[in-house]
Amino acid sequence: MKRPPAAVIAIVTIVVLALVGLVSWRLLSKPGGTVPGTEIAATTAPVVAQAKGPLAVYAKGALAKLVTNEAPVAIADISFIDRNQKPVKLSDFKGQVVVLNVWATWCAPCRFEMPTLAKLQEHYAGKGVKVLPLSVDTEDKFADVKSFMDVQQPLEVYADQEFQAPSKYNITGMPGTLILDKQGRQVARLDGEAKWDTPEVQALLDKLLAE
């Protein structure tokens, strides 16, 4: 039996490839670009609400990524040190609204947002708001921490040199910021960089100060 001419084989191959491509295109052109059988999983995944409770209305503008709680949540009394390496506890700031910002010198977004935190503290000087930038750099970087913070006045130096993981502070990465009410309870959280010297932030803090 003679073998089919090379031209015939080439034509058959092209036709087969075209059919395979057509079938694949039909499958992947379903709604949502999914393969049949997966559309439900893609369209019915639960939407996680980021803003809940009475403070949800403040999750906008500069605070669009704000995660608020249904109600205030008690958190651990975290220990750290100040500029002079004296021990400090989070409970030392009860009676004030606290903006606890977890940062590190190697975190570029942390450094970028720090001047806006300094302006926020300046705006609330003597008004019951404590902006608390907490470095999680290791001990050998403490001099760098102090040098950087020296140009971020009126912010002060605080450090947790035994930091292990972001989960210690209930954040997902750095920068990560917790908002605490005057009783020292967490009422909101913001993961990532933000601009803190804005009317949206002031509205939230003014609300907490009035409670």
Q: For residue range 86-134, what is the model confidence (pLDDT) as tens digits? A: 999 999 999 999 999 999 999 999 999 999 999 999 999 999 999 999 9
Check residue 173 and give its pLDDT: 85
Q: What distance in Å separates the CA atoms of residue 60 and residue 68, rounded to the nearest whole number? A: 12
Residue 68 above 60 pLDDT? yes
Q: Tell me how far apart the alpha carbons of residues 145 and 140 are, in angstroms, rounded to a whole number.
A: 10
Q: Is the pLDDT of residue 3 over 80?
A: no
For the chain, what percent of residues have pLDDT higher than 90?
A: 67
Structure confidence at residue 4 as a pLDDT band (50, 70, 90):
low
pLDDT at 1 over 60: no
For the whole model, what pTM was predicted?
0.75
CB atoms within 10 A of CB 44: 7
> How many Cβ atoms are within 10 Å of 109's Cβ, its own excluded?
14
Mean pLDDT value across residues 3-11: 50
Q: Would you state the structure tokens that stand for residue 136, as one six-digit string?
A: 């999680």
φ/ψ of 60, rounded to 5, equals: -155, 165
Q: How far is CA 159 from CA 44, 55, 117, 136, 207, in A?
A: 43, 29, 16, 6, 28
Are the C-beta atoms of residues 133 and 101 closer than 8 Å to each other?
Answer: yes
